[in-house]
Chains A and B, each alone.
Chain A
Amino acid sequence: MSAVVEQDPQLMVVNPPLVQGSRDLHDLTDQISSVIEAKVYETPLKYWITLACTGSIVLLLGAMLTYLVNTGIGVWGNNKPIGWAWDITNFVFWIGIGHAGTLISAILFLFRQKWRTSINRSAEAMTLFAVMCAGIFPLFHTGRPWRAFYWLFPIPNTDLNIWQNFRSPLIWDVFAVSTYFTVSLLFWFTGLVPDLATLRDRATSKVRQVVFGILSLGWRGSARHWRHYEQAYLILAGISTPLVLSVHSVVSFDFATSVIPGWHTTIFPPYFVAGAIFSGFACVMTLLLIARWLLNLQNLITIKHLDNMNKIILVTGSVVGYAYCTEFFIAWYSGDIYERFTFLNRAFGPYWWAAWSMYTCNVFIPQLYWFRKMRTNLWVMFIISITTNIGMWFERFVIIATSLTRDFLPSSWGYYSPTWVDICTFIGTIGLFLTLFLLFARFLPMIAMSEVKGVASIEKHSFAGQVEGSPSHR
C-alpha cells in the first residue's frame, strides 16, 4: 500500500498545503488550544470589545421579545393581507444560513474533501446558532410561547385537547426543523469529543479538569473507540445529507403547497435548497474572516479554503439566478394571468427596490468570482459575503411580501412596512448569533484538532516527497 508521492514545486502554487506553518502535531494542538486556554488579558482586546458590542445587541433582543409577549403580536407590522412578513422572512433566512454548516460537515465529508477540516467545526456551530435564531420567530409569533409546545408537538395535553393536523406542511416544518437542530447538535458534539479530551489532558486548573473531564465522556483515543466513532461519523454524515436537503424543501412546502400566485410552484424545493447553501456559505465566510482576524488563524484557514468556498458561492449563486429566470419564464409560459401579474409586480411593483436589490446581490455581484483575483482578495470576499446575505434576506422578503400584498381581489390589496419592533428584533437575533459564535470561538476548539492532525499527517508525507505508508488517515 505504499507509494512514493512527489510534490511538483509548480503544483505547490496551484495546490498549496491545507495546513501551513506549523508541521508538528504538538504545535497544532498548542495553537488551537491556546485560544481556549488563554487568560482573560491574553485574549486580544479587539475580541472583548466585539463581544461587548454584540452582547449589548442581545439585550435589545431580550427587551423586544419581552415587549412583544407583554403587549401582543400587534407590535409587529404583519396584518391583513400580509399575515406573514418579517417573522417568516427571518425564519427562512436563518434556517437557510444553517444549511452551509451541514453541507460542509456532512456532504463535503462524504465527498472526501479534506479542506473542510479547518472550517467544519465552526460551520456546524454556526448551523446550531442560526437554527436557534430561526426558532425564535415562529415561537414568538404564536404570541404565547410558553404554551407553544402543545400547539407544535403532538404531546397529549389538557391545554387544547386536540391534535395537530398532519396534512398541513406547517407541522412538517416543526418536525423538520426540530430534527435538524437535534441531529446537528449530536453531530457537532460527537465531533467535539476527541478535542474535549485533548483539552482535558492539557488542563491545569481543577475547574477545567472537571468540566472537560465530564464533557469528554472519558474518551482516550483507543482504537476500539475510533472504529465506532468513525463509523458513527460516517452514518451521521450520511443521514444529515438527505436531512439538510429535506429541511429547506419542507420549508419551501409552507409556500409551495398553498394556492398563492408566486408561491405555488414545483421549483421551490431545489430553489430554496440552493439559496440556503448560497447564503450559508456567505455567512460562514463572513464569520471565518472575522474569526481569522480576531484570533490569528491564517495558517489554518488559508486562502485556499476561502477560494474553494467562493467557488461554491459562485455555483450556488448561479443556480439561484437560473431559478429566478425559470420562475419568470414559467409565469409567462403558464398563461396564468395571476401568475404573470405577480411576477411583473415583483419586478416593477411597489417592492421593485427589494426585488432589484435581490437580483443585484445574488446574481450579478457573485459573478465577480469567475476571476481568481477576486476569489482570493480578502476585502472583496468580505464585502461579497455580506451583500450575498443582504440579497438572500431580500429574496425571502420579496417572495413573501410581493405575493401577499396583491391578493386575487384588488379590494384586499395592501402594503407592508415593518415596525421598529420588527427591525430591532431582527437586529437582536443578529446580535445573538454573533455573540454565541464569539463565545464558541473563545471557549471551545473552533478547529477540529483531531481531523486537522489527520490531514497534516498525510500532508507531511506528501509534501516532503516521502513514502506514504497508509494512504488515508482521514
Chain B
Amino acid sequence: MSQTSDPAILIAQIKDKLGIGDDKVYAVMGEFSEPEDLVEAGRRIREMGYTKIDAMTPFPVHGIDEAIGIPYSKIGWIVICGALAGITTAQVLIYYVGAIDYPLIIGGKPLFDFTYSIPPTFELAVLFSAITTFMCTWALSGLPRLYHPSMNYRSAHRASDDRFLLVVEADDPKFDAQKTAQDMRSVGANDVEVVEG
C-alpha cells in the first residue's frame, strides 16, 4: 500500500489507517511483457483448474477471452431492446402529437403516415441504441467505481501502459495464496504478488 497514484488508493489507505479496511486477500497477480505470453500463461493457468481468472491489459488482447474462459458479451441483445424502445417512442410520439393532441391540416396531407415518420423514427432508434450501449458498457463492467483491490498491486499502473497482468482471484475454490503464487511463477509471470484488498 505504498502507491499513491490514484485517489481510490488514498481512500483505501485512509480506511487502512482507521482500521476499517478489510485485509483479506484479493488475488495473486503477475505480469508479462508480451501479449502472447499472457495468453499462453492464461491458458495454462486455466488448465490447472482455476476458474476465477482475469487479465489486465493496455489494449484488447485477442484470444485472452477464450484462454481464461470469459464468455462472449451479450451487450448486443440489450441494445436491440434499446432500438425497439426508440422506434416505439418515436411512432407513439409522432402519432400522438400529429393525429391526437394537435391535428394540423396542411395541404390535405394525412395526420399520420409512417412514411414521413421514418426519419425521426430512425434517429430515435439510433439515439436510444447508442445511449443503451454506452450505459451497458460501463454497467456490465461494474463501472464506474473509485476503488478496486487490484490497484494495490505494485505494477497495477502499468496495465494501462505496457504490461499485461494475469490475476487469479481469491474466491476461486482452488485458491491458496502460496500454491497459486507458485503456479503463477511456473507459467512465467514476473513480479508475482499476493494482493490484499
B145 to chain A, nearest CB (A): 4
In contact, B7 and A163 (Cβ under 8 angstroms): no
Does B148 sit within 8 A of A, measured CB to CB? yes
Pick from A24, A176, A221: contact of B56, CB below 8 A: A221
A457-B136 CB under 8 A given contacts A165-B98, A183-B130: no
Chain A residues with CB below 8 A from B144, complex form:
214, 217-218
Pick from B7, B93, B141: contact of A225, CB below 8 A: B141
Pick from A217, A229, A239, A450: contact of B126, CB below 8 A: A239
In contact, B102 and A163 (Cβ under 8 angstroms): yes
Residues of chain B in range 46-63 having any CB-CB distance to chain A below 8 Å:
54-63
| Nearest A residue to B107, CB-CB | A167
In contact, B134 and A213 (Cβ under 8 angstroms): no
In contact, B62 and A472 (Cβ under 8 angstroms): yes
Does B70 sit within 8 A of A, measured CB to CB? yes
Does A336 sit within 8 A of B, measured CB to CB? no
B87 to chain A, nearest CB (A): 13
How many interface residues does A have (CB within 8 Å)?
A: 71
How many angstroms from the CA of A268 to the CA of B51 in the assembled complex?
57
Chain B residues with CB below 8 A from A469, complex form:
35-36, 39, 63
In contact, A236 and B130 (Cβ under 8 angstroms): yes
Chain B residues with CB below 8 A from A194, complex form:
58-59, 160
Fill in one digit per residue for A183-203: 1 if any B CB lies within 8 Å of its CB, else 0. Answer: 100110110001001101111
Does B18 sit within 8 A of A, measured CB to CB? no
How many angstroms from the CA of A239 to the CA of B101 in the assembled complex?
32
Q: Taking chain A's interface residues, is the majority helix, strand, or loop, or is none over half, making it mixed?
A: helix
| Nearest B residue to A223, CB-CB | B55
Residues of chain B in range 100-156 having any CB-CB distance to chain A below 8 Å:
101-102, 104, 106, 109, 116-117, 119-120, 122-124, 126-127, 129-131, 133-134, 136-138, 140-148, 150-151, 156
Does A453 sit within 8 A of B, measured CB to CB? yes
A156 to chain B, nearest CB (A): 9
How many angstroms from the CA of A236 to the CA of B132 in the assembled complex?
10
Fill in one digit per residue for B66-101: 1 if any A CB lies within 8 Å of its CB, else 0. Answer: 001010110110010000000000000110011001
Does A303 sit within 8 A of B, measured CB to CB? no
How many angstroms from the CA of A228 to the CA of B65 in the assembled complex?
11
Chain B residues with CB below 8 A from A38, complex form:
none
A-B contact number at CB 8 A = 221
A224-B54 CB under 8 A given contacts A182-B130, A190-B134, A229-B141: yes
In contact, B143 and A171 (Cβ under 8 angstroms): no
A201-B102 CB under 8 A given contacts A176-B123, A220-B151: no
In contact, B119 and A218 (Cβ under 8 angstroms): no
How many angstroms from the CA of A166 to the CA of B114 in the assembled complex?
11
Fill in one digit per residue for A203-234: 1 if any B CB lies within 8 Å of its CB, else 0. Answer: 10000011001100111111111111111100
Does B161 sit within 8 A of A, measured CB to CB? yes
Does A451 sit within 8 A of B, measured CB to CB? yes
> What bracket does the count of chain B residues touching chain A fall in?
35 or more
Does A470 sit within 8 A of B, measured CB to CB? yes
A163-B126 CB under 8 A given contacts A223-B55, A223-B65: no
In contact, B35 and A473 (Cβ under 8 angstroms): yes
In contact, A253 and B75 (Cβ under 8 angstroms): no
In contact, A222 and B56 (Cβ under 8 angstroms): yes
In contact, A235 and B76 (Cβ under 8 angstroms): yes
In contact, A179 and B57 (Cβ under 8 angstroms): no
In contact, A209 and B6 (Cβ under 8 angstroms): yes
A80 to chain B, nearest CB (A): 22
Does B162 sit within 8 A of A, measured CB to CB? yes
Pick from A209, A225, A235: contact of B133, CB below 8 A: A235
Q: Quick one: which of B7, B54, B117, B124 has the most chain A CB within 10 A?
A: B7
In contact, B127 and A182 (Cβ under 8 angstroms): yes
In contact, B63 and A470 (Cβ under 8 angstroms): yes
In contact, A224 and B70 (Cβ under 8 angstroms): yes
A26-B57 CB under 8 A given contacts A179-B127, A217-B144: no
How many angstroms from the CA of A201 to the CA of B150 in the assembled complex?
13
A221-B58 CB under 8 A given contacts A209-B6, A210-B7, A228-B141: yes
A31 to chain B, nearest CB (A): 12
Fill in one digit per residue for A114-135: 1 if any B CB lies within 8 Å of its CB, else 0. Answer: 0000000000000000000000
Chain B residues with CB below 8 A from A473, complex form:
35, 59-62
In contact, B151 and A171 (Cβ under 8 angstroms): no
A457-B7 CB under 8 A given contacts A213-B146, A227-B73: no
Closest 4 CB pairs of A and B: A469-B36, A25-B162, A217-B144, A201-B157
A-B contact pairs, 20 of them (CB 8 A): A29-B161, A154-B93, A163-B101, A171-B120, A175-B119, A179-B127, A186-B134, A197-B160, A201-B159, A214-B146, A222-B56, A226-B60, A230-B60, A232-B73, A239-B129, A243-B123, A243-B126, A250-B123, A470-B36, A473-B62
